[in-house]
């Protein structure tokens, strides 16, 4: 064997390849938007706005990516987020404190994760049906708690909500001469932290690699000595926990609970994961890709709005189109790869 | 070193409901030897391996490793006792790196040190001269290299006994040589290797000893150099060579002299190498050869069951294109597949529905067979083939193997084929049913139907076929008819002519 | 012994055991709660027609769209081993097309309604073909493939309407949506009956049932018997498209308007549930359309029962979720196996005990 092989760069793995495609498309799209649409796209605040608005989506997408890598699905994330928001708002308005509300959010998320994980991995019920029931339950509970929108009245929370990280270097001077610094919400920090933690979990922690293994080939994973059931169980628990965090971040962004909060979030999260290169069949995915998936999805929506397609339907039609494009791309790219291997 | 006994299995019994799969089998593996385990289908080799690896629990007997008696209840137990298996299908994760595949699921602790794994894996790969990089994604390696990585994992787990179950069946010649080199290296390091394969030449190339099983019993243990190939085949199939010579040529069967029905030239598929073949009307021919010789793949190509990649086909002298099963069916060809469960029965549907399926498909979506017609057909064939079923509405999955096979036969007979391909129609069914099926084949031929008959039992083929095509290592190596149609000649041709 | 009893018990009904038991339990529960729950009476509706009224009628009437969709979904499930989650969105599109064609001129005649329905059918079948192609040709899991249309379907409907929620008022439309003058049975119920008959006839005059089940149970064997699985799967999606158009049109006619946001909202989940309750394996294979239809009525009866118990329409979901989980847990192979072991252990102990007693 040649000693030089050690220095040779490895070809991209499936996950890296799909993620790279997404990142390239994201950058090209953003550059194109800067060149042709200008406006907000020229200011760094545009990116911060996208992050501020989508912090909780990024968090649940991370959870979905984990579950999807393990060849499962969790469609309850949006509904759980909504339930967490409503519960925490009512708790705070009922005289609760901040610390308690955070525990409540995590507790609700964890409870959903544990029940889903148990039913799916130990009772071997189809994940789609289980998390569908979870979604129904969470949505129903939200309206049972309150049909009407509830605003947080808690003062301590209001202070927490208004914490904004200001970055002067990326600010700009508005038309009226005032200097506007780039503003980032606390929730974005939480979201980015989640991305980093999950990235490390998936890459450097045994549990993470085991999730890849069960998604890649469940039978093999069993033969290799991995506890498949426990690993799958934990993947749903993590997803549930992240839904809890996402709920809290959502509340920090909106400051109010509403039964229709986070409607359709699960589908946006699945779309983010798919666009970011998570394979539908499991075993392949990358949480950084998911992050860029969310950003790509958001950018295209912004572009649609900025380019004058103001009609409300264009956003989701383009989302659907994007999703179709990426699903077909995955199918074609991976088919080609498996053929060239033979 | 070669005489030190590493693994001793004595008087192993294994019963399944209604079958004695292993009957007092002994097996001895010495340190630093490659020991081939041979036998045709149903001989009990895979049962023996599964007992050893803890997939099955044995019903009687003892296993000792290095003189210590051990009990194996799970694959994990086997591994802890230094027994590792590399299966035919790769049981690794293609989406992880080579290094990860060697270490995942083995060590405790929450964190993974990729650098450390890659370094350790790199050393083992280099020591065993495996042409893979530790950082490479396993799925990007060729199948042979993936297999070697699985072996490297076993070696790194300090295995003393390495079981290779059909490791070469999807490798090409170059890859096989790579694997053999690795096997010899391990042998030199004192590992005992059990090598299960269907390829005779590979056995002679690499193994030191051969143990032959037949019908769940031990036939014997032989030194490879002392056992000629033709004798090995005879032992596997169950006839001593002397006995074969005595049998000589039984009655000579007339080959059909009617016109040619089907003719293929250079036919090839994704799984079969190009071959020429023809069959006359009313003729019964057979494809023979050991498992993996390409006999099934060839007939699958005729039926269009695998992706057809080349060749010209004529039926009744007219050029036709057969690329899908439906093309073959429309040209009057029927095919009873080798794997009844996977490719034959629709288990949850009734006997009636299973019987009319092929005819219904040929008639198409808009010409349904009416319920009363279907019932009449089902009753007719249940009676004609003596199918034992509670009623025609019983789900076919609940029938016995032989009766399931008859249902599928009925399905094809109902289409009134001109040419019927039967791949192992008698496997795993009782003797009575076997004879019924053989009689049926001869009767079909009398009625002018061409039949291709494949069976692992040569005797059965000699009784029914008037012409045998012999395959070895995916090539046709001979065509026997008339006086040549006897056991000795068949054995010789399968084994490779010499001896 | 226990096995025999069980076999005898389930043998008569087979696959329909679960839905029939579910419906029986609901009926008994309601009769205990309120003996007059199922009383059916005659009343005059707004148009002055004498019509049937009562909880039972509103259950059967209200489940119509669901029942029609469940029929098509059963076929897709059987052939592809997965479900279409875009039926609600596709129904909104079909409904929009239906209204769009009706709105081309002010007068609405019977022929025009027929034309509108045919247009809705064609569009829904096209979207079915799109889903089916992704599933059958590109081999994408049905749920993921139909996620695309689920995401953007309602917006496409909105786009077709041009950003409005147009209303239609015509005696023909209200006849379709509620009652035909002189007939006391709600028209949607008649449409369900008609659709069920059409399916029955399709299965009688084609071999679709056999071929679909073969593809779903054993794809490999189906292929070797010459069945074109791609076509069968595609066809199941196209047939579901017809069901989507029918239920979309019923929904629109019932309300007299098209609202892309709320028309048959969340019905995809109920439809999948109806198929599952009907005793059909969500992993594909053998199916019974009648089971799914009963499943649809079970869901609607559950909903109406909850309404009658003063549960608000938005909260119903939470209770439904509990029922779904109970059903799937009972149906789970792991639970069945554990329960079976438990029962046989119990019987064992008892027989041992009786033996001891005899000694």
pLDDT in tens, A213-254: 999 988 888 888 888 999 999 999 999 999 999 999 999 999
B221/B342 same-domain check: no
Q: Which residue has the tokens 């610094």?
A: A181
Sign, CA dihedral C158-C163-C165-C166, equals negative
Task: Give yes or no: residues B280 and B361 share one domain.
Answer: yes
Q: Are residues B10 and B98 both part of a single domain?
A: yes
Q: Coil, strand or helix: which one is B7?
A: strand
Give residues 285 to 324 of B whose Cβ lies within 8 Å of C: 303, 305, 324
Nearest to A206 among B109, B129, B131 (CB): B109
pLDDT score at B164: 92
pLDDT in tens, C185-200: 999 999 999 999 999 9
Contact A216 B96 (CB under 8 A): yes
pLDDT digits (tens, 9 = 90+) for A120-163: 999 988 888 899 899 989 999 999 999 899 998 888 888 888 88
Smallest Cβ–Cβ distance between B135 and the set A10, A15, A206 belongs to: A10
More confident residue, B414 or A14: B414
pLDDT of residue B166: 82
Shared-domain flag, residues B152 and B95: yes
Domain boundaries, chain C: 64-300, 311-359
**CATH number of domain containing B202:** 3.40.50.300
Flag whether residue B397 sits within 8 Å of chain C, measured between CB atoms: no
Q: What is the pLDDT of residue C206?
A: 94
Q: Catalogue all structural domains in chain A, each as residue range(s) with its CATH number.
A: 49-297 (1.10.3470)
The shortest C-alpha distance from B324 to chain C (Å) reads 7
pLDDT for residue C13: 57
Q: Which of A8, A203, A213 to mutate to test the interface with B (most CBs of B within 10 A)?
A: A213
pLDDT of the residue at A1: 38
Res C17 pLDDT > 80: no
Kindly state whether residues B97 and B206 are assigned to the same domain: yes
pLDDT tens for the 499 residues of chain B, in order = 457 899 999 999 998 766 788 999 999 999 999 999 988 766 788 889 989 988 888 898 999 999 889 888 887 788 888 899 888 777 889 889 999 999 988 877 788 889 999 999 999 999 888 888 999 888 888 888 888 899 899 888 888 999 998 887 767 777 888 889 999 999 998 999 999 887 788 889 999 999 999 888 899 999 999 988 888 888 887 765 555 444 433 444 566 678 899 999 999 998 889 999 999 999 999 998 877 788 889 999 999 999 899 999 999 999 999 999 999 999 999 999 988 888 999 989 999 999 999 999 999 999 999 999 999 999 999 999 988 888 999 999 888 778 899 999 999 999 999 999 999 888 767 667 777 888 899 899 999 999 999 987 777 888 888 899 999 888 899 898 888 888 888 888 888 754 3
Q: Calculate what percentage of chain A has a pLDDT beyond 70.
A: 96
| Whether residues B360 and B431 fall in one domain | yes
Residue percentage of chain A with pLDDT more than 90: 51
What pLDDT shows up at residue B249?
39
pLDDT tens digits along C152-187: 899 999 999 888 889 988 889 989 998 888 888 999
Q: Which pLDDT score, from 0 to 100, does residue A6 have?
A: 43
Based on the domain organization, do B396 and B285 belong to the same domain? Answer: yes
Interface of A with B in 196-215 (CB under 8 A): 204-207, 209-210, 212-213, 215
Cβ <8 Å between A137 and C322? yes
Asked if C147's CB is within 8 angstroms of A122's CB, the reply is no
The model's pTM is: 0.84
Residue B167's nearest CA partner among B86, B262, B103, B260 is: B86
Q: C7 touching B, CB under 8 A? A: no
Specify the pLDDT at position A69: 95
- Structural domain that includes position B334: 260-495
Q: How many domains does chain B have?
A: 2
Determine, yes or no, domain membership for B248: no
Q: Which of C91, C92, C99, C358 is nearest to C240 (CA)?
A: C91
pLDDT of residue B197: 83
Task: Inspect the interface and report whether the beta carbons of B337 and C224 lie closer than 8 Å.
Answer: yes
- Distance of alpha carbon C87 from alpha carbon C73, whole angstroms: 9
pLDDT at C88: 95
Q: Are residues B443 and B377 in the same domain?
A: yes
Let me know whether B217 and B266 are in one domain. Answer: no
Residue A170: per-residue pLDDT: 78
Residue A16: per-residue pLDDT: 82
Chain A residues close to C152, C-beta within 8 Å: 316-321
* B181 assigned to some structural domain: yes
Is B42 a domain residue? Answer: yes
- Has residue B234 been placed in a domain? no
Q: What is the mean pLDDT of residues C89-105?
A: 94
Instruction: Give CA B381 to chain center in angstroms.
Output: 30
Q: At how many degrees (to 10) do helices C17-33 and C289-308 cross? A: 20
Which chain B residues contact residue A1 at CB under 8 A?
Answer: 126, 129, 131
* b (16+ CB within 10 A) / e for A80-94: bbbbbbbbbbbbbee
Highest mean pLDDT among A69-78, B428-437, C45-54: A69-78
Residues B106 and B167 in one domain: yes
Indicate if the pLDDT at residue A209 is higher than 80.
yes
CB contact under 8 A, A323 and C147: yes
Q: What is the pLDDT of residue C354?
A: 64
* Per-residue buried b or exposed e for C127-162, using 16+ beta carbons within 10 Å of the residue's own CB: bbbbbbbbbbeeebbbbbbbbbbbbbbbbbbbbbbe
Please name the chains neighbouring B, where neighbouring means 3+ C-beta pairs under 8 angstroms: A, C
In this prediction, residues A295-311 reach a mean pLDDT of 85
Same domain, B210 and B159: yes
| A115 CB neighbour count, 10 Å cutoff | 19
Average pLDDT over residues A12-36: 87
User: Residues of C at the A interface (Cβ-Cβ below 8 Å)?
Assistant: 83, 134, 138-141, 143-145, 147-156, 158-159, 163, 269, 272, 276, 282-283, 312, 314-322, 324-325, 328-329, 332-335
Report yes or no on B283 lying in a domain. Answer: yes
Please give the Cα distance from B97 to B125 (Å, whole number).
Answer: 13
Output the pLDDT for position C178: 87
B155 within a domain of the structure (yes/no): yes
Describe chain C by its helix, strand, coil percentages, rounded to 5: 70, 5, 25
**Between residues B378 and A336, which one has the greater pLDDT?**
B378
Probe site for chain C from A120, A132, A148, A334 (most C CB atoms < 10 A): A132
**Residue A157 confidence (pLDDT):** 87
> A325 or A177: which carries more pLDDT confidence?
A325
Is B126 an 8 Å CB contact of chain A? yes
**Per-residue pLDDT band at A282 (split at 50, 70, 90):** confident
Neighbours of B19 (CB within 10 A): 12
For B101-119, how does the pLDDT look when each residue is reduced to its tens digit (9 = 90+)? 999 888 777 888 899 999 9
Does residue B233 sit within a domain? no
Q: Is the Cβ pair B342, C218 closer than 8 Å? A: yes
Q: What are phi and psi of B86, to 5 degrees?
A: -115, 115
Residue B198 shares a structural domain with residue B56: yes
User: Of residues C42 and B40, which shows the higher confidence score?
Assistant: C42
pLDDT band at A3 (very low <50, low <70, confident <90, very high): very low
pLDDT given at position B331: 94
Residue B243 belongs to some domain of the structure: no
């Amino acid at each position: 064997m040649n000693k030089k092989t050690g220095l040779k760069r490895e070809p991209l793995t499936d996950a890296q390849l799909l993620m790279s495609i997404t990142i390239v498309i994201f950058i090209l799209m953003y550059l194109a938007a800067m060149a042709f649409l200008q406006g907000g796209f020229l200011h760094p605040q545009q990116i911060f706005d996208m992050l501020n608005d989508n912090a909780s989506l990024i968090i649940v997408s991370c959870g979905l990516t984990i579950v999807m890598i393990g060849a499962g699905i969790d469609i309850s994330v949006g509904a759980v987020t909504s339930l967490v928001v409503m519960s925490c708002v009512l708790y705070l308005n009922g005289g609760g404190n901040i610390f308690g509300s955070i525990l409540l959010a995590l507790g609700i998320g964890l409870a959903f994760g544990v029940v889903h994980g148990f039913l799916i991995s130990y009772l071997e019920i189809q994940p789609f049906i289980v998390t569908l029931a979870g979604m129904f339950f969470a949505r129903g509970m939200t309206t049972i708690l309150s049909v009407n929108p509830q605003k947080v009245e808690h003062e301590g929370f209001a202070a927490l909500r208004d914490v904004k990280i200001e970055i002067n270097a990326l600010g700009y001077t508005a038309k009226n001469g005032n200097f506007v610094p780039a503003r980032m919400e606390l929730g974005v920090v939480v979201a980015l932290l989640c991305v980093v933690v999950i990235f490390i979990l998936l890459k450097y922690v045994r549990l993470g690699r085991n999730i890849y293994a069960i998604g890649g080939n469940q039978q093999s994973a069993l033969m290799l000595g991995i506890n498949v059931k426990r690993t799958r169980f934990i993947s749903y628990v993590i997803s549930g926990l992240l839904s809890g965090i996402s709920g809290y971040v959502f509340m920090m962004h909106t400051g109010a609970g509403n039964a229709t909060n986070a409607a359709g979030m699960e589908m946006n999260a699945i779309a983010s994961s798919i666009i970011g290169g998570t394979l539908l069949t499991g075993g392949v995915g990358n949480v950084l890709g998911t992050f860029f998936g969310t950003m790509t999805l958001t950018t295209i929506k912004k572009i649609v709005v900025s380019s004058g397609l103001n009609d409300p339907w264009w956003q989701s039609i383009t989302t659907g189109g994007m999703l179709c494009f990426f699903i077909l791309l995955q199918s074609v790219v991976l088919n080609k790869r498996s053929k060239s291997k033979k | 070193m070669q005489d030190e006994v590493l693994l001793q299995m004595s008087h192993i019994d294994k019963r399944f409901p209604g079958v004695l799969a292993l009957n007092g089998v002994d097996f001895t593996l010495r340190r630093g030897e490659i020991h081939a385990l041979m036998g045709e289908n149903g001989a009990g080799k895979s049962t023996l391996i599964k007992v050893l690896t803890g997939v099955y629990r044995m019903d009687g007997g003892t296993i000792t490793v290095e003189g210590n008696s051990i009990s194996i209840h799970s694959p994990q137990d086997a591994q802890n006792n230094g027994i590792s298996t590399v299966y035919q299908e790769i049981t690794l994760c293609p989406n992880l790196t080579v290094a990860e595949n060697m270490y995942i699921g083995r060590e405790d602790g929450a964190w993974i040190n990729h650098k450390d794994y890659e370094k350790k894996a790199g050393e083992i790969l280099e020591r065993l001269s495996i042409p893979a990089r530790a950082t490479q994604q396993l799925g990007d390696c060729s199948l042979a290299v993936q297999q070697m990585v699985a072996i490297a994992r076993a070696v790194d787990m300090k295995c003393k006994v390495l079981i290779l179950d059909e490791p070469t069946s999807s490798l090409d010649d170059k890859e096989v040589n790579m694997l053999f080199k690795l096997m010899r290296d391990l042998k030199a390091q004192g590992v005992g290797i059990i090598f299960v394969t269907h390829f005779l030449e590979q056995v002679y190339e690499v193994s030191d000893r051969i143990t032959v099983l037949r019908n769940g019993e031990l036939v014997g243990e032989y030194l490879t150099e002392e056992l000629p190939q033709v004798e090995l085949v005879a032992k596997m199939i169950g006839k001593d060579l002397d006995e074969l010579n005595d049998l000589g040529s039984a009655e000579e069967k007339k080959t059909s002299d009617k016109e040619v029905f089907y003719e293929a030239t250079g036919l090839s598929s994704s799984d079969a190498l190009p071959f020429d073949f023809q069959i006359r009307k009313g003729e019964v021919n057979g494809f023979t050869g050991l498992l993996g010789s390409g006999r099934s793949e060839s007939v699958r190509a005729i039926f269009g069951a695998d992706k057809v990649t080349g060749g010209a086909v004529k039926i009744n002298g007219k050029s036709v294109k057969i690329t899908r099963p439906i093309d073959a069916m429309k040209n009057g060809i029927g095919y009873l597949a080798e794997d009844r469960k996977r490719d034959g029965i629709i288990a949850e549907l009734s006997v009636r529905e299973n019987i009319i399926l092929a005819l219904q498909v040929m008639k198409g979506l808009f010409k349904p067979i009416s319920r009363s017609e279907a019932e009449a057909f089902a009753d007719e064939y249940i009676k004609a083939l003596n199918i034992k079923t509670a009623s025609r509405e019983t789900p076919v999955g609940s029938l016995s193997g032989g009766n399931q096979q008859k249902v599928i036969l009925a399905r094809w007979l109902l289409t009134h084929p001109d040419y019927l391909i039967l791949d192992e129609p008698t496997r795993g069914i009782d003797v009575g049913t076997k004879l019924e099926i053989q009689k049926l084949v001869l009767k079909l031929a009398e009625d002018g139907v061409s039949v291709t008959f494949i069976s692992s039992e040569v005797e059965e083929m000699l009784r029914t076929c008037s012409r045998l095509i012999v395959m070895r290592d995916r090539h046709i190596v001979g065509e026997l008819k008339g006086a040549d149609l006897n056991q000795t000649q068949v054995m010789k041709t399968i084994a490779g002519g010499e001896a | 012994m226990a096995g025999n009893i069980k076999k005898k018990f389930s043998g008569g009904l087979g696959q329909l055991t679960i839905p029939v038991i579910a419906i029986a339990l609901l009926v008994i529960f309601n009769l205990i709660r309120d003996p007059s729950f199922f009383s059916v009476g005659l009343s005059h509706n707004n148009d002055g027609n004498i019509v049937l009224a009562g909880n039972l009628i509103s259950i059967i009437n209200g489940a119509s769209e669901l029942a029609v969709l469940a029929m098509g979904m059963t076929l897709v499930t059987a052939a592809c081993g997965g479900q279409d989650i875009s039926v609600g969105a596709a129904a909104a599109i079909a409904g929009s097309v239906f209204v769009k064609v009706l709105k081309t001129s002010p007068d609405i005649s019977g022929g025009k309604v027929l034309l509108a329905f045919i247009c809705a059918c064609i569009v829904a079948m096209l979207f079915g073909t799109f889903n089916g192609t992704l599933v059958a040709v590109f081999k994408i899991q049905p749920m993921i493939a139909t996620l695309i249309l689920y995401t953007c379907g309602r917006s496409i409907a909105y786009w077709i309407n041009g950003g409005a929620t147009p209303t239609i008022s015509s005696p023909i439309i209200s006849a379709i949506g509620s009652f035909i003058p002189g007939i006391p049975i709600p028209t949607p119920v008649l449409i369900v009956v008609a659709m069920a008959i059409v399916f029955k006839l399709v299965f009688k005059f084609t071999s679709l049932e056999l071929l679909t089940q073969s593809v779903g149970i054993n794809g490999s064997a189906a292929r070797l018997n010459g069945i074109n699985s791609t076509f069968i799967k595609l066809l199941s999606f196209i047939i579901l498209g017809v069901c989507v158009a029918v239920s979309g049109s019923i929904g629109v006619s019932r309300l007299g308007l098209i609202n892309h946001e709320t028309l048959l909202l969340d019905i995809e989940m109920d439809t999948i549930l109806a198929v599952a309750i009907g005793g059909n394996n969500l992993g594909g294979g053998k199916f019974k359309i009648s089971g799914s239809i009963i499943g649809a009525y079970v869901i609607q009866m559950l909903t109406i029962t909850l309404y009658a118990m003063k549960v608000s329409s938005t909260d119903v979901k939470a209770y439904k979720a509990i029922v779904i989980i109970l059903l799937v847990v009972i149906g789970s192979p792991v639970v069945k196996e554990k329960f079976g072991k438990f029962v046989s252990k119990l019987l064992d102990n008892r027989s041992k005990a009786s033996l001891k007693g005899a000694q």
